Amino acid sequence: MGKLPKVKPGQEITIVFTDGSSKIFTIEYTSVVTPDQTHILNPTADSRITLYTCTGLFDNKRFVVTAVNKPYN
């Protein structure tokens, strides 16, 4: 198992784009869902990333990380 299930709310994820620009996303929450709970991929009004990986006995669940980019004022 990788390191994704070890992240915690409040931690930051930096995404660097091919043009050299970057955005910082703050982990809002983590959860465990079943493969049929596809609502985690629904469009949202905010700027966020959703990362997920298999977890559970025989990889029958998904560990989900939701992180939001909050623009600076």
Q: Per-residue pLDDT tens for 15-66? A: 999 999 999 999 999 999 999 999 999 999 999 999 999 998 999 999 999 9
Nearest Cα to Cα of residue 48 among 26, 30, 64: 26
The pLDDT value recorded for residue 72 is: 64
Task: Examine residue 29 and state whether it is found in any structural domain, yes or no.
Answer: yes
Q: How many domains does the chain fold into? A: 1
The CATH number of residue 42's host domain is: 2.40.260.10
Cα–Cα dist 57/59, whole Å: 5
Task: Examine residue 9 and state whether it is found in any structural domain, yes or no.
Answer: yes
Q: Which domain holds residue 39?
A: 4-68
In this predicted structure, the answer to whether residue 73 has a pLDDT above a threshold of 90 is no
- pTM for the predicted model, two decimal places: 0.85
Task: Examine residue 60 and state whether it is found in any structural domain, yes or no.
Answer: yes
The residues, any chain, with a CB within 8 Å of residue 26's CB and separated by 6 or more, are 10, 11, 12, 13, 67, 68, 69, 70
Task: Examine residue 8 and state whether it is found in any structural domain, yes or no.
Answer: yes
